[in-house]
């Protein structure tokens, strides 16, 4: 019976089972944090790895959704599902606006423009009253979902897993769809894609908006988990972190961002108390090493290794 | 006391001077970025961290070697430039054949390393660094109090910018640099050592940042975060000015500093974002920047 | 079937018996402070040291039958870092009480987590009166001082000296807003006038444009509603712009560590309200000397207050025989505090620990006879006058 499913499908099923069992051995709040950032990185990878666009201000979508969700849950007392949706959709809308401006430039300039535009929104967050500025938005209620009281970490955990699996599936389908193929074509050879008649600008914008929306979902979920939204969520350091997670894990691979974010979040968590500011140095060093010698990332190198091994086997 | 649109003159002029001071920093830093980008095609994200390093070096020279401000003005930029050369040789040169984005990522990583390192050693708060006695005090101009040190910042920055412009446009070394930027292969064929030019350019560019750091040290207290607060605004300045011309970067930097100063007087809430708003507008109507050429 | 019920009954009995004991026979204290930022000198490592001293003294004098452990971490003045750390400490590390929490946003964040998990919070460093008003809860004690207490003393004294018109330079977060608000009320009550304010990002590095605004307002007094390195930099830059001595500066929240860093020449004559002075009497001198031997600096009120709070807590645990939050808190509230730090100290219903505060004036350089001899005590403000009266409290826990 197992043989009817491809190795990939079995692998995914195994992964989900592992996730469901994990709280028995690992602190669930840590795993939830990893899942949120993994989703953020997967959304980001859609743009970088598959469309070839480096957005250096992606944290603004994480932060915008975090604040919106926080606000509607705490101040307007909306139900949790509505709050999550609100944050996600606002992030998507913001993505549409920023994306339209940014795609007017290519390559490096695109990155700088996204950075500067997101910085503008960051300063807005800093000064707006509803965000609480430096204090942040605290005491966001988790509420409940379909009768489950989310104040219990255990219940919330399964909801977060469900959200992650659903979003991951969505990204997976997108990548393997005709839409995804066109995105890859744009990454490989944009002039060619144009000459083939595709409205490249429209596709880039769509990819940007989709990426922003899913990043928003990650931010909204994070607010519910930590009951908190702060400026850190929208700061450009966080934008840099998600680039690192994707690069380290492997750009343009499906699993790369998940691996990368798991490594980075766990590393930061474990090292923060022990080495203080050296964590930043370590992050920087990983960046430098990845760019110089490890550009395919963990999963990318893994796949290359696997292919070499099969090649060797067949060649013999 | 005369008023200007409801704002007393001393306040207005004071903020304009402060705006010019900030603008001077923008000018020197965006100049360095533009020079590096022109030659290496790399956006040097580490520029802010190296600016900070210049300031910290000034403090370190004072704290551990007893060398004062005037020594630091000379030694710190050289020190930062030397470190820049090491960075270029050890790390950056492998990236020239790759997508430009990798340069941005590598220098971002460098910025994290440098900033994290100094934070680890010195915490987050700034270190005390006094204004040198020769430049202490203020001149009472009647319509405003002009602190001597702030005036010095403006003068020193402009001198350095003009000096750089002169060197690049009017000297032979500058001619070689410009040639190497336009057409490296051909320039190399003429017997000019292009990799050496590249190395020196990066060293010089970050040396400018180090110089700006020393200038900033007595005014804003050397601290590990001073670069990261500034660098994004400088990026916006560079996008607005365009990366084609030196005088363009200088003019844009000063101009934006003035606009920020005016904003602080009339509409303070917008002062942090006005640069980015202008950038967004420029992007819509003149994507290459005010003085840039579409590359 | 009967066996099952007996088993359940036994289990129930055992578990209630266990509740009257200290879980794991260990009391774990978490010190969450700013180790490397703007407030690291005011609080920071010094508070960790003070906690260690309290634990050592407690073990030596009281010989408890339970173990006392301590963990410490840096919250970097960020609310989210503090909140996550607190959650992790409560969930995973079995920490019973979190202490210190300089920077109001971290305090407010951790108070919420502690309420959720039913654990205690002892605040020494945070300043805002929100802790005992809008955000009050029954698991928190605000030990050392607050923005009302310091502005009440200082602002009132300055207005009485003739500084009638004020302009504030304020750190743009909960603490700064609080301090500005409380000080403004005192100024207006005392017959002065507030001309305006300028808010600066926290932490700040360049105050020049805000100082310029203050200068052009023409106010006699520039109130610095900030603390730590922000205050020190503001004072330094003010002289650069020729603001002093024409206008005077009022550091609304200053600590002896600031005076030490700035020097008497710059700060002489300034008024400040402090909760502790090392040179007050024999008891304070004795304790401070022990602290000085470890840290090589004299303690600020935050650091001294930390010792006092931890000691009171440990005594409560021993007296009640449990680390149950509500029982320990009840003992702490009904027991007065009389140690080297607090005279006539007691914890009110809103969580505020009230004790005498001191209005001091910084000595002139020639008046200072030995190291750290900085203060002339001008007035001892008794506990029930120093802090916001309970009747004016906006805390829902206070019965009106």
How do residues C268-325 score in pLDDT, each as one tens digit? 888 889 999 999 999 999 999 999 999 999 999 999 999 999 999 999 999 998 888 9
Q: What angle do CA C142, C146, C148 make, to 5 degrees?
A: 135
Contact between C315 and C336 under an 8 Å Cβ cutoff? The reply is no
State mean pLDDT over B105-134: 86
The set of chains that have 3 or more CB pairs under 8 A with A is B, C
Which position has the token pair 């826990």? Answer: C397
CA atoms B1, B7, B13, B18: torsion sign:
positive
Q: Measured between alpha carbons, how far is residue A234 from residues A67, A91, A115, B231 in Å?
A: 10, 12, 11, 17
Total domain count for chain B? 1
Q: Decide if C48 touches A, using CB distance below 8 A.
A: no
At residue A239, the pLDDT reads 93
For C332-373, write each residue's pLDDT tens digit. Answer: 999 999 999 998 799 999 999 999 999 999 999 999 999 899
Distance CA B223, CA B217 (A): 9
Of C178, C233, C183, C176, residue with least CA distance to C207 = C233
Give chain B positions within 8 Å (CB) of A237.
Answer: 228
Question: Is residue B256 included in any domain, yes or no?
Answer: no
Q: Decide if A124 touches B, using CB distance below 8 A.
A: yes
Distance from CA of B166 to the nearest CA of A (A): 28
Question: Is residue B292 included in any domain, yes or no?
Answer: no
Nearest chain C residue to A26 by CA: give it: C92
State mean pLDDT over C207-224: 87
pLDDT band at C244 (very low <50, low <70, confident <90, very high): confident
At residue B3, the pLDDT reads 62
Q: Where are the beta strands (DSSP E) in chain C?
A: 26-33, 67-74, 97-100, 120-123, 140-142, 165-171, 193-200, 221-225, 248-251, 271-274, 346-347, 353-354, 357-362, 375-381
Which residues 6+ apart lie within 8 Å of B171 measured at CB? none
Dihedral of CA atoms B3, B5, B9, B12 in degrees, nearest 10, equals: 160
The set of chains that have 3 or more CB pairs under 8 A with C is A, B
Is pLDDT at B288 greater than 70 in this prediction?
yes
At residue C2, the pLDDT reads 52
Of B239, B274, B223, residue with least CA distance to B33 = B239
At residue B4, the pLDDT reads 63
Integer-rounded Cα Rg, in Å, for chain A is 20
β-pairing, B145-147 vs C26-33, is unpaired
Distance CA C154, CA C131 (A): 21
Burial class (CB in 10 A: 0-12, 13-18, 19+), A152: exposed
Question: Is residue B263 included in any domain, yes or no?
Answer: no
Which residues 6+ apart lie within 8 Å of C66 measured at CB? C22, C25, C26, C27, C317, C318
What tokens were used for B241? 């000015």
At residue A3, the pLDDT reads 57
- Asked if C229's CB is within 8 angstroms of B119's CB, the reply is no
Distance CA A137, CA A129 (A): 10
Is pLDDT at C20 greater than 70 in this prediction?
no
Half-sphere exposure of A298 (CA within 13 A, CB side): 18
pLDDT band at B66 (very low <50, low <70, confident <90, very high): confident
- Alpha helix (H) ranges present in chain B? 9-40, 47-65, 69-90, 100-122, 148-170, 172-182, 184-189, 194-220, 226-241, 246-266, 274-285
SS3 C269: coil
Question: Is residue B289 included in any domain, yes or no?
Answer: no
At residue C16, the pLDDT reads 45
At residue C8, the pLDDT reads 45
- Asked if B105's CB is within 8 angstroms of A287's CB, the reply is yes
Domain that holds residue B219: 26-223
- Asked if B264's CB is within 8 angstroms of C241's CB, the reply is no
Mean pLDDT of chain B: 85
Give chain C positions within 8 Å (CB) of A227.
Answer: 83, 112
Q: Is the peptide bond before C9 cis (omega within 30 degrees of 0)?
A: no
Above 0.90 for ipTM, yes or no?
no
Is pLDDT at B115 greater than 70 in this prediction?
yes
Splitting chain A (316 residues) into consecutive groups of 10 residues, what average pLDDT does each group show? 67 83 85 94 92 91 95 91 94 94 82 86 87 85 84 88 93 91 89 89 93 96 92 91 93 90 90 81 92 89 87 66
Q: Decide if B8 touches C, using CB distance below 8 A.
A: yes
pLDDT band at C14 (very low <50, low <70, confident <90, very high): very low
Is pLDDT at B176 greater than 90 in this prediction?
no
What interhelical angle do A28-51 and A178-188 show, nearest 10? Answer: 60
DSSP summary character for residue B290: S
Distance CA B123, CA C77 (A): 12
Nearest chain A residue to C115 by CA: give it: A139
Q: Measured between alpha carbons, how far is residue C15 from residues B222, C4, C278, C305 in Å?
A: 58, 16, 47, 36
Which position has the token pair 């805002």? Answer: C128
Contact between C123 and C102 under an 8 Å Cβ cutoff? The reply is no
pTM over the 0.80 mark: yes
Q: Decide if C206 touches B, using CB distance below 8 A.
A: yes
Which position has the token pair 């290496």? Answer: B40
Dihedral of CA atoms A166, A172, A178, A179 in degrees, nearest 10, equals: 70
At residue C64, the pLDDT reads 87
- Please, which contacts does A78-86 make with residues 24 or more away whose CB atoms are closer than 8 Å? A79/A143, A80/A142, A80/A143, A80/A144, A80/A145, A80/A150, A80/A224, A81/A145, A83/A143, A83/A220, A83/A224, A84/A163, A84/A217, A84/A220, A84/A221, A84/A224, A86/A220
Contact between C373 and C363 under an 8 Å Cβ cutoff? The reply is yes
At residue C400, the pLDDT reads 61
pLDDT band at C15 (very low <50, low <70, confident <90, very high): very low
Give chain B positions within 8 Å (CB) of C205.
Answer: 126, 220-221, 223, 225-226, 229
Q: What angle do CA B103, B108, B112 make, to 5 degrees?
A: 150
Which position has the token pair 């450009």? Answer: A236
Mean pLDDT of chain C: 87
For C157-198, write each residue's pLDDT tens digit. Answer: 888 888 889 999 998 888 889 899 999 999 999 889 999 998
Q: Decide if C209 touches B, using CB distance below 8 A.
A: yes
What length does chain C have?
A: 400
- Asked if C209's CB is within 8 angstroms of B18's CB, the reply is yes
* CA A21 and chain centroid, separation: 23
At residue C18, the pLDDT reads 43
SS3 C71: strand
Distance from CA of C253 to the nearest CA of B (A): 18
Distance CA C349, CA C136 (A): 10
- Asked if A228's CB is within 8 angstroms of C79's CB, the reply is yes
Q: Is the peptide bond before C245 cis (omega within 30 degrees of 0)?
A: yes
């Amino acid at each position: 019976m197992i043989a009817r499913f491809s190795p990939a499908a079995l692998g995914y099923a195994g992964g989900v089972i592992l996730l469901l069992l994990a709280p028995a051995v690992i602190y669930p709040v840590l795993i939830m944090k990893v899942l949120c950032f993994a989703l953020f990185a997967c959304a980001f990878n859609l743009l970088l790895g598959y469309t070839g666009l480096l957005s250096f201000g992606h944290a603004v979508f994480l932060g915008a959704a975090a604040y919106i969700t926080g606000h509607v849950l705490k101040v307007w007392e909306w139900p949790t599902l509505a709050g999550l949706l609100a944050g996600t959709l606002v992030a998507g809308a913001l993505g549409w606006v920023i994306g339209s401006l940014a795609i007017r430039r290519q390559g490096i300039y695109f990155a700088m423009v996204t950075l500067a535009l997101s910085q503008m929104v960051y300063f807005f967050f800093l000064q707006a009253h509803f965000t609480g500025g430096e204090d942040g938005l605290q005491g966001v209620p988790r509420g409940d979902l379909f009768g489950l009281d989310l104040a219990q970490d255990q219940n919330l955990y399964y909801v977060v897993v469900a959200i992650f699996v659903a979003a991951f599936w969505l990204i997976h389908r997108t990548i393997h769809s005709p839409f995804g193929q066109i995105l890859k074509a744009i990454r490989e050879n944009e002039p060619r894609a144009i000459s083939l008649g595709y409205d490249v600008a429209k596709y880039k914008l769509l990819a940007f908006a989709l990426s922003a929306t899913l990043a928003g979902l990650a931010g909204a979920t994070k607010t519910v988990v930590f009951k908190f939204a702060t400026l850190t969520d929208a700061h450009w350091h966080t934008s840099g972190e998600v680039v690192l997670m994707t690069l380290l894990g492997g750009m343009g691979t499906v699993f790369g961002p998940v691996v990368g974010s798991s490594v980075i979040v766990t590393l930061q968590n474990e090292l923060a108390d022990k080495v203080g500011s050296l964590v930043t140095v370590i992050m920087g060093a990983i960046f430098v090493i990845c760019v110089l010698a490890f550009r395919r990332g963990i999963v990318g190198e893994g796949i290359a290794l696997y292919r070499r091994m099969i090649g060797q086997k067949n060649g013999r | 006391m005369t008023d200007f649109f409801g704002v007393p003159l001393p306040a207005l002029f004071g903020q304009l001077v402060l705006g010019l001071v900030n603008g001077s920093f923008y000018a020197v830093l965006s100049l360095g970025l533009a020079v590096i980008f022109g030659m290496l095609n790399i956006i040097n994200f580490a520029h802010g961290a190296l600016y900070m390093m210049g300031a910290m070096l000034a403090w370190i020279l004072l704290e551990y070697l007893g060398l004062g401000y005037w020594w630091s003005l000379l030694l710190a930029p050289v020190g930062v430039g030397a470190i820049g050369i090491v960075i270029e040789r050890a790390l950056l040169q492998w990236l020239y054949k790759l997508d430009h984005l990798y340069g941005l990522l590598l220098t971002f990583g460098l910025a994290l390393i440098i900033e994290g390192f100094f934070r680890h050693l010195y915490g987050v708060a700034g270190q005390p660094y006094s204004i040198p006695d020769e430049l202490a005090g203020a001149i009472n101009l009647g319509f405003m109090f002009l602190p001597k040190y702030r005036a010095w910042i403006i003068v020193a920055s402009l001198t350095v910018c003009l000096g750089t412009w002169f060197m690049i446009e009017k000297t032979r070394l500058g001619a070689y640099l410009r040639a190497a930027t336009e057409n490296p292969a051909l320039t190399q064929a003429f017997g000019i050592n292009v990799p050496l030019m590249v190395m020196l350019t990066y060293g010089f560019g970050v040396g400018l940042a180090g110089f700006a750091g020393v200038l900033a040290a007595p005014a804003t207290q050397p601290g590990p975060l001073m670069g990261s607060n500034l660098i994004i605004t400088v990026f916006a300045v560079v996008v607005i000015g365009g990366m084609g011309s030196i005088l363009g970067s200088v003019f844009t930097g000063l101009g934006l500093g003035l606009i920020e100063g005016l904003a602080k007087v009339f509409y303070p809430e917008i002062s942090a974002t006005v640069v980015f708003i202008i950038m967004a507008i420029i992007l819509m109507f003149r994507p290459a920047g005010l003085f840039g050429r579409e590359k | 079937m009967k066996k099952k019920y007996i088993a359940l009954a036994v289990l129930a009995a055992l578990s209630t018996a266990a509740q009257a004991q200290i879980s794991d026979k260990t009391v774990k204290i978490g010190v969450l402070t700013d180790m490397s930022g703007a407030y690291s000198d005011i609080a920071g490592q010094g508070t960790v040291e003070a906690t260690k001293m309290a634990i050592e003294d407690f073990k030596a004098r009281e010989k408890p039958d339970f173990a006392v452990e301590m963990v410490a971490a840096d919250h970097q003045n960020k609310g989210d870092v503090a909140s996550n750390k607190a959650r992790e400490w409560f969930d995973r590390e079995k920490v019973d009480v979190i202490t210190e929490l300089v920077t109001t946003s971290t305090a407010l964040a951790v108070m919420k987590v502690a309420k959720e998990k039913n654990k205690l919070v002892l605040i020494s460093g945070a300043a805002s009166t929100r802790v005992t008003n809008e955000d009050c809860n029954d698991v928190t004690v605000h030990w050392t001082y607050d923005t009302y207490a310091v502005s009440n003393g200082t602002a009132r004294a300055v207005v009485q000296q003739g500084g009638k018109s004020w302009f504030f330079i304020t750190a743009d977060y909960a603490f700064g807003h609080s301090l500005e608000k409380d000080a403004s009320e005192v100024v207006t009550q005392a017959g002065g006038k507030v001309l305006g304010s300028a808010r600066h990002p926290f932490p700040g590095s360049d105050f020049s444009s805000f100082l310029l605004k203050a200068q052009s307002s023409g106010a006699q007094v520039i109130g610095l509603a900030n603390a730590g390195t922000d205050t020190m930099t503001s004072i330094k830059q003010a002289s650069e712009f020729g603001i002093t001595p024409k206008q005077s500066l009022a550091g609304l929240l200053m600590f002896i560590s600031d005076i030490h860093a700035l020097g008497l020449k710059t700060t002489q004559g300034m008024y400040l309200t402090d909760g502790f002075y090392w040179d007050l009497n024999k008891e304070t001198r004795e304790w401070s000397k022990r602290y000085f031997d470890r840290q090589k600096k004299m303690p600020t009120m935050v650091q001294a207050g930390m010792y006092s709070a931890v000691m009171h807590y440990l005594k409560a645990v021993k007296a009640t025989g449990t680390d149950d939050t509500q029982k320990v808190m009840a003992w702490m509230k009904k027991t007065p505090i009389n140690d080297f730090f607090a005279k006539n100290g007691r914890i009110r219903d809103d969580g505020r620990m009230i004790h005498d505060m001191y209005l001091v004036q910084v000595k002139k350089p020639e008046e200072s006879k030995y190291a750290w001899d900085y203060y002339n005590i001008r007035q001892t403000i008794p506990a029930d006058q120093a802090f916001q009266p309970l009747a004016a409290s906006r805390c829902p826990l206070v019965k009106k």
